[in-house]
């Protein structure tokens, strides 16, 4: 009987948020995801016998997890939270007023009544200054505790007595209870890495890793790889080489992994799936047995878009060594990361299993399917932090006779799966098969230029510095090479903390000059991000007036959609990339009779073969995308240069709705990804974002 082997790889990563010169951790995302995701994801798996997976732990994350085992860790957020509310400095209170609502409204704030009441008060008050002044000390204290509780994962909610007690109490917390909670969370974080070690020893999971600070290694090896992956990419004009840094990032990762797990890693998930032939040769020379990247890299290499090629074992050969390569199924991975969160768990699992079965049945041989995605960012957009989804998914998978889960190392050695030899590989990443997310935009290129300029200044005095200073300086360079800083530069991803990422990147280069005993050049104190890019952080613009557009599949006049709300889908919650979306913008508005929706994107390519499904609380309405006016019981629709839809107001007003794009019978995009639209009650949408 033929089998399909399913590999899950859950990638756990955060950049290095500590400024080593001041000793302060500037952003708290390692702490928050530690109490919500890093333990819970392997725990979900452990609940279902027979399920296996690979977890990728980036060294820059593991180092910070270790730091959080200390209750007195110098984290900017935790320093403020540990203080009595009435002892907070004004700037700390203002900082907390902003950060204590950084949680998913639908699934983290709303389920906690007191937290949601405070959130609604914040919405009435408006800006952070008003919240800082308008909340009483008790409200502020409740807010602090509830924020921490909202980030607690399912495991903590079910097993930690302090967490359970405070959830049951609900409000009117004391400072002592807050400190007790913080101490409980600190103790919990100390259990995370030992838990991975235990599951590794039991054979339930494999742990892989990534170059130490999550750099785009092919760009460090040769910045020309940016143009080789995409000839249209402008690359910065720089002199010098960061080749040795790419090797150093790899060797430090292997050494740190050995320190933690007492063995060498078998496999690597290169940062952002960024690979090149040279980089993989370096991994192979360091006895790494496997690596993984996106399917698009294989298609570029083979010069054919044959999906069957990713469902086998692939091995890349070098002059002396070889390495097993796993290619990510883009569609299945993105469905789990972006789409299933908006579905009922039953429907999502049924869809995933059906797609997996089609892959299984389409081949006469044993097949290998690789689902690889972020292991921490998507789950707050699922109910119950995706626990219900994963329990059902893992249980269904465990029951299948034709499918088995495995670790990457096990699949690498599974000779029952056909293997194909590769002797070349095109450079690229998991996004578009190129490196454009990290190079090419003027802001991204400026960041590269600053690294090279700082490196040139360092090389001139390197010989005069002692070994301790050289080690400290090299560490600052390696941190500055993290992919995360470049991710947020440019106009493709947005976050309300964009200026903080920018400042922290430049601070690492400023630290180099201080360690050299020199005054940093003024250019390092000038923001790289523009005012436009720092203010363009919200993916939703609210309607300001009624609209009554003509439903004709085109923008008939400049004024017909003026005043409508607008949702920028490419920038929605963009710590994960949404490159394949065919619908890029959604406009919405209403008049006395109807609600109107207009979608922009690749509409012309969808004519005659796709439909838009309007999903309401009660039922679904299907509207074909055709270049003619169609009248349906629910409304009117026409496609053309844009897609326009008019729906009877009574069908959607004050109801939670969303849309699905269905192409050739398959759902390809959920609109919006992680929330619902509620006409007449739109304020909350602009607060959704995550890192």
Which one has a higher pLDDT value, 153 or 549? 153
509 and 578 part of one domain: no
Give the pLDDT band of residue 227 (cuts 50, 70, 90).
Answer: very high
Biggest alpha carbon–alpha carbon distance for the chain:
80
454 and 436 part of one domain: no
Q: Give CA–CA dist 450/344, Å, rounded.
A: 47
Spatial contact of 462 and 455, defined as CB atoms under 8 Å apart: no
Asked whether the predicted pLDDT for residue 546 surpasses 90, the reply is no
Spatial contact of 686 and 571, defined as CB atoms under 8 Å apart: no
**Number of domains comprising the chain:** 3
Instruction: Mark which of 493, 519, 535 sits at the end of a domain.
Output: 535
Which one has a higher pLDDT value, 335 or 676? 335
49 and 194 part of one domain: yes
Q: How far is CA 266 from CA 210, 427, 482, in A?
A: 11, 22, 22
Q: Give CA–CA dist 108/581, Å, rounded.
A: 27
Quick check: is 204 in a domain? yes
Instruction: Mark which of 535, 551, 571 sits at the end of a domain.
Output: 535
449 and 436 part of one domain: no
Convert the pLDDT of each residue in 340-369 to its tens digit: 988 899 999 999 999 999 999 999 999 999
Please, which residues bridge with residue 367 across strands? 4
Q: Give CA–CA dist 169/163, Å, rounded.
A: 10
ω into residue 153 within 30 of 0, thus cis? Answer: no
pLDDT confidence of residue 576: 44
479 and 615 part of one domain: no
Please, which residues bridge with residue 522 across strands? none
Instruction: Mark which of 440, 459, 485 sits at the end of a domain.
Output: 440
Asked whether the predicted pLDDT for residue 445 surpasses 90, the reply is yes
454 and 570 part of one domain: no
User: DSSP alpha helices (H): ranges in 466-542?
Assistant: 467-480, 483-488, 498-516, 531-535
Element (H or E) spanning 122, and its range? helix 113-125
Label residue 354 exposed, middle or buried (CB < 10 Å: 0-12, 13-18, 19+). exposed
Q: Could you tell me the residue range of the domain that residue 519 belongs to?
A: 445-535
Give the pLDDT band of residue 577 (cuts 50, 70, 90).
Answer: very low
For the record, the structure tokens of 260 come out as 């933690």
Q: Give CA–CA dist 505/452, Å, rounded.
A: 14
Convert the pLDDT of each residue in 258-289 to its tens digit: 999 999 999 999 999 999 999 999 999 999 99
Quick check: is 154 in a domain? no
- Residue for token pair 């004709």: 552
pLDDT confidence of residue 538: 44
Quick check: is 156 in a domain? no
Quick check: is 179 in a domain? no
Please, which residues bridge with residue 160 across strands? none
- Averaged pLDDT score across all residues of the chain: 92
Of all residues in the chain, what percent carry a pLDDT higher than 90?
77
Please, which residues bridge with residue 662 across strands? 611, 667
CATH code at position 460: 1.20.1430
pLDDT confidence of residue 527: 93
Lowest model confidence (mean pLDDT) among 59-68, 99-108, 557-566: 557-566
Give the pLDDT band of residue 560 (cuts 50, 70, 90).
Answer: confident
Asked whether the predicted pLDDT for residue 541 surpasses 80, the reply is no
Q: What is the mean pLDDT of residues 631-658?
A: 90
422 and 460 part of one domain: no
pLDDT confidence of residue 580: 58
Convert the pLDDT of each residue in 287-303 to its tens digit: 999 999 999 999 999 99
pLDDT confidence of residue 557: 67
DSSP 521: P
CATH code at position 430: 3.20.110.10
Asked whether the predicted pLDDT for residue 193 surpasses 80, the reply is yes
pLDDT confidence of residue 532: 56
Convert the pLDDT of each residue in 88-116 to its tens digit: 999 999 999 999 999 998 899 999 999 99
Asked whether the predicted pLDDT for residue 644 surpasses 90, the reply is yes
Convert the pLDDT of each residue in 587-602 to its tens digit: 998 887 889 999 999 9
Quick check: is 151 in a domain? no
Quick check: is 344 in a domain? yes
Cβ neighbour number for residue 201 with a 10 Å cutoff: 10
Per-residue burial over 531-554, b = 16 or more CB atoms within 10 Å of its CB, e = otherwise: eebbeebbbbeebeeebebebbbe
434 and 292 part of one domain: yes
Asked whether the predicted pLDDT for residue 691 surpasses 50, the reply is no
Lowest model confidence (mean pLDDT) among 105-109, 189-193, 411-415, 672-676: 672-676
Spatial contact of 372 and 11, defined as CB atoms under 8 Å apart: yes
- Residue for token pair 């098969």: 433
For the record, the structure tokens of 567 come out as 């949702």
Q: What is the mean pLDDT of residues 180-198?
A: 98
Convert the pLDDT of each residue in 455-494 to its tens digit: 999 999 999 999 999 999 999 999 999 999 999 998 777 7
Asked whether the predicted pLDDT for residue 408 surpasses 90, the reply is yes
DSSP 591: -
Quick check: is 648 in a domain? yes
Quick check: is 466 in a domain? yes
Angle formed at CA 338 by CA 404 and CA 444, multiple of 5 degrees: 115
Which one has a higher pLDDT value, 334 or 560? 334
Element (H or E) spanning 72, and its range? none
* Beta strands per DSSP E along 329-433: 367-374, 403-406, 419-422
311 and 210 part of one domain: yes
450 and 385 part of one domain: no
Q: How far is CA 332 from CA 12, 35, 283, 337, 582, in A?
A: 19, 27, 27, 9, 17
Helix pair 345-361, 387-399: axis angle to 10 deg: 40
Cβ neighbour number for residue 276 with a 10 Å cutoff: 25
353 and 453 part of one domain: no
575 and 643 part of one domain: yes
DSSP 568: E
Which residues have CB under 8 Å from 348's CB, separation 6+? 339, 340, 389, 393
Select the highest-mean-pLDDT range: 41-55, 629-643, 662-676.
41-55
Strand 630-631 and strand 610-615: pairing? unpaired
């Amino acid at each position: 009987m033929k089998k399909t082997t399913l590999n899950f790889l859950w990638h756990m990563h955060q950049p290095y948020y500590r400024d080593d010169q001041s000793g302060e951790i500037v952003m708290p995302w390692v702490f928050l995801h530690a109490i919500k995701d890093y333990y819970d994801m392997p725990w979900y798996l452990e609940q279902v016998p027979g399920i296996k997976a690979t977890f990728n732990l980036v060294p820059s994350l593991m180092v910070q997890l270790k730091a959080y085992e200390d209750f007195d860790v110098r984290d900017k957020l935790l320093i403020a939270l540990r203080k009595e509310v009435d002892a907070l400095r004004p700037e700390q209170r203002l900082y907390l007023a902003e950060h204590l609502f950084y949680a998913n409204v639908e699934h983290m704030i709303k389920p906690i009544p007191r937290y949601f009441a405070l959130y609604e008060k914040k919405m009435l008050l408006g800006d952070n200054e008003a919240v800082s002044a308008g909340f009483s000390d008790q409200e502020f204290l409740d807010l602090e505790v509830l924020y921490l509780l909202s980030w607690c994962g399912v495991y903590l909610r079910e097993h930690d007595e302090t967490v359970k007690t405070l959830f049951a109490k609900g409000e009117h917390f004391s400072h002592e209870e807050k400190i007790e909670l913080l101490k409980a969370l600190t103790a919990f974080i100390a259990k995370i890495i030992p838990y991975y070690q235990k599951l590794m020893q039991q054979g339930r999971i494999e742990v892989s890793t990534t170059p130490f600070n999550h750099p785009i290694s092919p760009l460090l090896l040769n910045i020309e790889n940016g143009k080789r992956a995409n000839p249209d990419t402008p690359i910065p004009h720089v002199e010098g080489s960061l080749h040795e840094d790419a090797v150093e990032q790899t060797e430090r990762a292997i050494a740190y992994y050995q320190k933690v797990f007492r063995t060498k890693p078998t496999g690597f998930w290169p940062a952002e799936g960024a690979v090149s032939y040279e980089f993989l040769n370096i991994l192979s020379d360091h006895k790494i047995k496997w690596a993984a990247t996106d399917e698009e890299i294989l298609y570029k290499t083979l010069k054919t878009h044959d999906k069957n090629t990713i469902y086998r074992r692939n091995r890349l050969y070098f002059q002396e060594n070889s390495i097993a390569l796993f290619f990510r199924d883009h569609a299945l991975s993105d469905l789990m990361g972006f789409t299933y969160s908006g579905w009922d768990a039953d429907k999502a699992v049924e869809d995933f299993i059906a797609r997996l079965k089609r892959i299984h049945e389409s081949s006469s041989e044993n097949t290998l399917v690789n689902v690889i995605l972020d292991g921490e960012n998507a789950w707050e957009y699922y109910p119950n932090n995706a626990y219900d989804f994963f329990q059902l998914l893992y249980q269904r998978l465990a029951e299948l006779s034709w499918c088995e889960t495995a670790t990457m190392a096990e699949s690498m050695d599974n000779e029952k799966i056909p293997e194909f030899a590769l002797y070349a590989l095109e450079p690229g990443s998991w996004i578009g098969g190129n490196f454009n997310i990290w190079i090419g935009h003027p802001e991204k290129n400026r960041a590269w230029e600053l690294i090279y300029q700082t490196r040139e200044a360092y090389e001139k005095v390197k010989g005069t510095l002692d070994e301790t200073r050289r080690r400290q300086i090299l560490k600052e360079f390696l941190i500055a090479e993290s992919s995360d800083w470049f991710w947020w530069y440019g106009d493709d991803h947005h976050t309300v903390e964009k200026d903080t990422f920018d400042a922290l990147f430049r601070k690492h280069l400023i630290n180099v000059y201080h360690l050299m005993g020199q005054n940093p050049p003024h250019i390092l104190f000038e923001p790289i991000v523009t005012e436009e890019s720092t203010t363009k952080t919200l993916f939703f613009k609210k309607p300001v007036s009624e609209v009554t557009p003509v439903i004709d599949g085109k923008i008939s006049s400049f004024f017909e959609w003026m005043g409508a709300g607008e949702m920028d889908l490419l920038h929605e919650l963009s710590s994960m990339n949404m490159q394949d979306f065919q619908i890029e913008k959604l406009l919405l508005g209403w008049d006395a009779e109807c609600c109107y929706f207009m979608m922009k994107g690749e509409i012309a390519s969808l004519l005659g073969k796709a439909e838009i499904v309007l999903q309401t609380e009660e039922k679904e309405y299907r509207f074909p995308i055709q270049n003619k006016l169609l009248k349906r019981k629910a409304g009117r629709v026409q496609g053309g240069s844009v897609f326009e839809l008019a729906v009877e107001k009574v069908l959607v007003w004050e109801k939670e709705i969303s849309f699905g794009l269905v192409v050739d019978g398959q759902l390809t995009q959920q609109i919006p990804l992680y929330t619902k639209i509620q006409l007449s009650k739109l304020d909350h949408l602009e607060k959704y974002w995550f890192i």
